[in-house]
Structures are given as structure tokens and as C-alpha cells.
Amino acid sequence: MKHKLIIAGLIISSLFSSCQQFEDDYLDTDAPSTLQPSLIFSDAELAKGAVDGIKVPFAETNSYRGRFLPYYGLNTDVEWYNTSQTAGDKADLCVYDARPGNTEMNTTTNAYAMMYLGIERANICIQGIRQYGKPSPGTNMGQLLGEALTLRAIYYADLLKAWGDVPARFEPITTATLYLPKSNRDIIYKQLIADLGEASTLVAWPNETSYTSTVEHVNKAFVKAFRARLALAASGYQQYPDGVRRSNDPELSVPAMYALALKESREVIESGSAHLESTFEGLWRKYNQEITTAGGESLWELPFADGRGRMLFTFAVRHTSAIDQFQANGANRGGVAGPLPFVFYDYDQTDLRRDVTCVPYKWGTAVAASPYPIAKQELGTLDTWYFGKYRYEWMTRRVTSDNDDGVNKMYMRYAEVLLIAAETANELEGPGAAMPYLKEVRRRSFPAAAQAVKVEAYVDGLSSKEAMFNAIVEENKYEFTGEMERKQNLIRWNLLKVKLDEAKQKMTDLAARSGAYADVPATLYYKYKTDNVSLDIYGLNRGETTNPGTGYSSIVWTWTGTAADAKINSLYKPGVNPDNRQYWPIWQVFIDGSNGQLKNDFGY
């Protein structure tokens, strides 16, 4: 059964209210505590409660749960907010036009504040364990220190990818440090990379201990993989106040950071402590079934209790009715975002990831039945698709909360480790060194009969560094659509606007059935399978234009927009250059509460 955070309120309130905290712009200050850090951090069980408390801000209402995860990472060349064309502050967060006063974000309880709350809690734990806990590798206190360092790095990594330069806080707040200006992100990246290096010596491998038997606790495979991800981000292109460029710090150079990322990813691979699930569909069924046993593909998950978190609430295949045979989560749950419409047609037809990732139907109005109303699948339109990686219908637990589903966020998985190894090996050692890693990802993606062509011949044909790099960029697309990791990768590859413009042209061509999409059928044929709820669809594949015969109904499979399509143009707001809007602004409440220390760059 999925492990959930159970935290002693005494430990949380006693520890975290006893320390100097943010005032108006971050946290409220409570009364001093009677439980002192010397007591808490000299006892492993009490210290564990404190470290668990670092995770609580993930699930606060306007934190990751309801603001960061639903919006960060959209819009890319594979994913978008499904109503991007609808003016408003929600869409602005996705179409590269967020403003400091955005009403969805401009509150003191927003994700930005909650991330710093998590960082402050981590700082207190790190200081306390170092001072009183005698942490060392192989000990409970060592594991807890490693976890605290890693959780702090997670908060900071997400601050950096959403806001760029932010204040650096690596010690508990004092009166002297209550107000800080932004720091150069290079300083923060170097600290995080060093912290994760230390953490990797302290935490156990997956299933090496009972503590690391669940992916809701930090393990060595995740720490090393996450360190590799951050090394690539730190050395990649990104928008600085003086333009889009790589870091000027020699410690964050491509040779240095790619060597580190290759080393860390190879150590995870060679450890045998994680592996790809045997099938792509099996991976996502396991995820929706909330199986959190360590040692598989999931490396670490952001843990939500059953009544918190909105991964399916936001991203699942849409359910129209408030109650149906699969869920009681409320009406019109899921479907807030989805894959761009051409993504389905860019997959190879034999790629087993395609139909898991891209879903062209929703669940319609449920009809009264016992014990639950029954909904059927209903086809939508060509320009609205849903992420099939998130499905209420694959859960084993029935969601009854009105606002949350409790399904974790899979923060990193083993397939990314393989593609990091491929990318860095290609850069440092050439395409031959990258081939085994790329083949392993693709081998799972195609049926055995297709592998000679789609895996072996395809990868063996990538004989130049450029060809291998381009293939890795595409493979990331096919593997991770719907996981909202694409945006940061496009930024670090310096491909953000290039790929967004390509996506706009692809959608224009698809809507007109021209260019590479001239053979996409304009009519779909469908009937219900023997269960009378699931659709049997003909006409989705290129070239399927012949009426399949008796029993099938048909619909016109058309783009619903106009010739000058507002939806296509809304991938990023017209007149905006996404390369100049790679980050959200710091929200106005934090600027106003910073005692003049914070300001926005990038023309905000």
C-alpha cells in the first residue's frame, strides 16, 4: 500500500515555529517552542518527522498541488494548455505572457513562497542534523541529512527553472538575512550540485534499506540521476539578464558538466538498482495504480496524501460527469492540457508509446446505473487531445474528493537516465558510445517484429554527432510528452522558439491536410466494443480512408478553428518572443514585501 506522510504535529509546530522565519513576504511567525533542536536532531525518529515536514509545502493549496504542477512546463512543441486561446491569467502562465500581478499567482501563499518555506525547513533540518545528529554513510541520520539536502535541491531546481535568478538561502533565516536580493543562479547551481554529491554518499540505493523501499523516500539512484539533470541544466543555454547564453563560469562549462552527468548516469545504470518497466503501458498503469515500490522505473515521486494533489484532476483524460464508473472527483475533471494535435501523427505507427500518450476521446455524460452511473468514450475534435498517461480508469482506488486525487507526481524516471547518458556520451565520446542507451529506450518502444528496423538499423544509422543529437531531441519528445519536462530541455538546447515555430507550422499543415500531414484522414469511423463503453476507432492512422463497413458510424475529423487560427497562434502570445520570456516574473506581492531588495528582469 502506498506510503503517505504521517507527521507528528508536535514536531512540526515545535521545530519550525521556534526558528526565525519569513515575515509578511514568506511566513508567519508563531510562538517559541519548548522542543529544542538539540532534542529533535539527536533522535532519529524525531528528526525523521522534521525531515518529513520539509515535504509538506509541496501539497499546500497554492503550491505544487494547485499552481506549479498544473501550469509550469506548458506550452512546448509537444504539450499545451488546451484553452490557450482563451484570454485570462491562467492562459497567460502558459503562453509566455505572465505578468507580476497575475491573479492566479500573486498571493503570499503561492508556490514561490511555499518553495522557500520548504527550503527554510530543509535549512533548519540540515543545520540541526549536522550539529546534533552525527550523520554518516550507512546511518539513519546520514540518510536523513541526504534526504534533506536533496529536498532542498528539488525546491531550488524548480525555482531556478521557473524564475531564473532568485535569492540564495542555504542557512536558516536570521534578522540580518530576512531580506536578500537575487543571486546569480550559477552560484545556486554549484551549491546544489555539491549538495547532491554529498547526499549521494549518505543515502542508500533503492531497496538497500527498508527506508528506501519506496520511491516516496530519496535514494541514491535518484540523487545521482537528479544531479546529472541539474548539471545539464546548469551548463545549458538559458535567459540571463544580458541575453540567452550558456554560463560564463568555467565550473559550469559543457565539458565539466557533461562529464559529471555522464559519470552519474552511468553509475546509476551500472548499479542495476533501477530499470525500465517491461512495457510502456505497464509503466503508466503502475503509476496510476499508485504502486510506489522502489527499484523499477520511477526514481522518486513527489508524495501526495489521498486528499491532496491534482495530477489526474488536471491532466487525465477528461471525464465529463461528476460521477461515473471510474471516479467521483467532480464534473469536467482532467483534460486541462494535452498533446499538440500533430504529435500523434509524428509517432511511428508501430511505436507502442503513441496510443498511451495521445488520446482523442473523452468520457461523456454518464447514464444512471448501479452501483455507479456509466459513461462512454466520445470522440472530440482534431485540435483537442488528452494525455493518456493519466487515467482514472487505470486506478485501483476510487477518487471521491471534490478537488484532489492524491496521485503522486513522478518527478524522475529511469528512461531519462538513459537519454542523459546517450546525450552526454554523444557529446564527449561520439555517437557510437550513445547508441546502446538510445537502443534500450527504443527497444521497449517497438514490438519485437519491428526492432530490427526501428531500433537496430535506425540507431546504427546515426553516424554523426549531429544526427545522434537530433535523434535524442526527438526521442525525448516521444518518451516524455505529457510529463512537462520538455520546456527546460528546449531552453537548455537553445531550441525553444525554433521548436515552437515548427509546432505552429505543423498545426497549420495538419489543419489544412497539407505538407507532412496531407495523408491524415479527414473522416473517422467508430463503433463501440463489446463492453459498450470503449471505442473501436478506424481512420486515425495515416492512409486509413476506406469505410470499414457495417456497424461503424462516421464523423468529420476536422480542426475547429478558423483560417487565421487563434488556437495555433496562442501556442505563444502573438508579439511575444518566448526566448525573451523563458521565466515567470517574481510576483508583485514578493517584490512589494522585499524591502526594495527584489526586482524583475526581462522587461517585466
Span 459-499, pLDDT tens digits: 999 999 999 999 999 999 999 999 999 999 999 999 999 99
* pLDDT given at position 215: 98
Grid cell, residue 587, equals: 510576483
176 falls within a domain: no
Q: Is residue 265 part of a domain?
A: yes
* All cell numbers assigned to 88: 485570462
pLDDT at residue 563, rounded to an integer:
52
User: What contacts 548, CB < 8 A, 6 or more positions away?
Assistant: 525, 538
CATH code, domain with 469: 1.25.40.900
In a domain, 292, yes or no: yes
Residues 531-568 pLDDT 10s: 999 999 999 999 999 999 989 999 999 998 765 689 99
Separation between Cα atoms, residue 75 and residue 84, nearest integer Å: 9
Residue 246 lies in a domain: yes
The residue segments making up the domain with residue 292 are 204-303+408-488
Residue 544 lies in a domain: no
What are the b/e assignments for 461-496, b being 16+ CB within 10 Å? ebeeeeebbebbbebbbbbbbbbbbbbbbbbbbebb
CB 232 within 8 A of CB 261: yes
Q: Is residue 421 part of a domain?
A: yes
pLDDT number for residue 603: 87
Q: Classify residue 1 by burial, with Cβ atoms within 10 Å: 0-12, 13-18, 19+.
A: exposed
Using an 8 Å Cβ cutoff, are 507 and 341 in contact? yes
The pLDDT of residue 6: 37
Q: Is the pLDDT of residue 311 over 60?
A: yes
Report residue 358 as a C-alpha cell: 495521445
Instruction: Tally the domains of the chain.
Output: 1
* Confidence category of residue 16, pLDDT binned at 50, 70, 90: low
Task: Look at residue 24 and tell me whether its pLDDT is greater than 50.
Answer: no
Give the number of other Cβ atoms within 10 Å of residue 128's Cβ. 26
Is 385's pLDDT higher than 50?
yes
Residue 359's region, left for phi above 0, alpha for psi from -120 to 50, else beta, is beta
The whole-angstrom separation of Cα 60 and Cα 54 is 12
pLDDT in tens, 191-206: 999 999 999 999 999 9
Q: What is the pLDDT of residues 88-106, one digit of tens each?
A: 999 999 999 999 999 999 9
State the Cα angle at 601 between 600 and 602, rounded to 5°.
130
If pLDDT is split at 50, 70 and 90, which confidence band does 30 have? very low
Helices 414-429 and 254-271: crossing angle in degrees, nearest 10, is 130
122 assigned to some structural domain: no
Mean pLDDT of the chain: 94
Q: Is residue 353 part of a domain?
A: no
pLDDT score for 225 = 99
